[in-house]
């Protein structure tokens, strides 16, 4: 299996494909993904649930393990805020993720409603997660997230302060989704020595891999962007069908091609 940690090269980012089920994961692998991550929102959508903390820890880790059991590439899990406010909650979440055989995970510094945890508590939470990752019986890559910029609850300076503190306690990868500008992302990457993850979603879908590389990024994840793009296809086709009786959006690719991707992306 690919060495997940070795994929993280600042200035030469790999694309971490966020999948929401085994089929989407196998297609991504067949088409070039060298590692897969879960998407908390993407998986919630498959359960008929909104994004934001309604899928619990047990189900989230079981979902990630299901992907890992069917793939030959590393799988990392999006584990929201660690499923609890306390450092012990984060530690237990990481321990369970490692026991599930995952290659890594990420944990956010915000509550399910987007409010940031206090700085000192945030650092303690990431410290506990790092210590749990180090207790794993295999190499486990822990990514610490500073999500306040994306939620509009703190600025880039605070994000950098938090990421530097998360690096100081040993986080392997650092992540501040959706800074406002490429200059901000470049500044963020320069402010730390650990690999930085960037999110290709929203306006950042207009940024190329080369531009992310020039900013110093080591990993580009998709979040729920691909899942939401799929849901856009469903919406557009349904509006045409049930509105004008127009089925022309239903062309799609052939089932044989899908079958080939599913086979190519399996173990």
The DSSP secondary structure of 17-72, one letter per residue, reads EEESSHHHHHHHHHTT-SSEEE-HHHHHHHTT--SSS-S-HHHHHHHHHHHHHT-S
- In this predicted model, what pLDDT tens digit does every residue of 243-265 receive, in sequence order? 999 999 998 999 999 999 999 99
How many domains in the chain?
A: 1
Mean pLDDT of 98-122: 97
Tell me the average pLDDT of the chain: 97
> Which tokens hold the place of 167?
């690096």
Instruction: Check pLDDT > 90 for residue 50.
Output: no
Instruction: Please tell me the predicted confidence (pLDDT) of residue 60.
Output: 96
Instruction: Please tell me the predicted confidence (pLDDT) of residue 176.
Output: 98
Instruction: Check pLDDT > 80 for residue 53.
Output: no
Report the CATH number at residue 221.
3.20.20.60
Q: pTM to 2 decimals? A: 0.96
| Range(s) of the domain holding residue 15 | 5-264
CA atoms within 13 Å, Cβ hemisphere of 42: 26
Instruction: Please tell me the predicted confidence (pLDDT) of residue 135.
Output: 98
Instruction: Please give the Cα distance from 42 to 120 (Å, whole number).
Output: 31
Instruction: Check pLDDT > 90 for residue 1.
Output: no
- In this predicted model, what pLDDT tens digit does every residue of 112-171 receive, in sequence order? 999 999 999 999 999 999 999 999 999 999 999 999 999 999 999 999 999 999 999 999
Instruction: Check pLDDT > 90 for residue 267.
Output: no
Calculate ∠ Cα 63-64-68, nearest 5°: 120
């Amino acid at each position: 299996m690919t060495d997940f940690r070795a994929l993280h090269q600042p200035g030469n980012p790999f694309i971490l494909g966020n999948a929401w089920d085994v089929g989407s994961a196998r297609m991504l692998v067949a088409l070039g993904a060298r590692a897969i991550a879960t998407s908390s929102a993407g998986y919630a959508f498959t359960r008929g649930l909104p994004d934001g903390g309604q899928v619990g820890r047990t189900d989230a880790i079981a979902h990630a393990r299901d992907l890992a059991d069917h793939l030959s590439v590393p799988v990392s899990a999006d584990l929201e805020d660690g499923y609890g406010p306390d450092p012990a909650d984060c530690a237990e979440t990481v321990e369970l993720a490692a026991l599930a055989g995952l290659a890594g995970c990420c944990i956010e510094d915000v509550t399910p409603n987007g409010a940031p945890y206090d700085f000192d508590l945030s650092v303690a939470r990431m410290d506990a997660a790092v210590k749990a990752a180090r207790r794993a019986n295999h190499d486990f890559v822990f990514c610490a997230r500073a999500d306040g910029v994306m939620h509009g609850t703190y600025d880039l300076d605070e994000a950098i302060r938090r990421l530097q503190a998360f690096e100081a306690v040993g986080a392997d990868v650092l992540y501040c989704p959706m800074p406002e500008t490429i200059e901000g992302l470049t500044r963020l990457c320069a402010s730390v020595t650990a690999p930085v993850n960037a999110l290709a979603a929203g306006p950042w879908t207009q940024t190329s891999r080369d531009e992310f590389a020039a900013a110093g990024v080591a990993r580009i994840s998709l979040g729920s962007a691909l899942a939401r793009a799929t849901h856009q296809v469903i919406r557009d086709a349904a509006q045409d069908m049930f509105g004008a009786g127009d089925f022309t959006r239903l062309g799609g690719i052939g089932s044989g091609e899908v079958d080939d991707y599913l086979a190519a992306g399996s173990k």
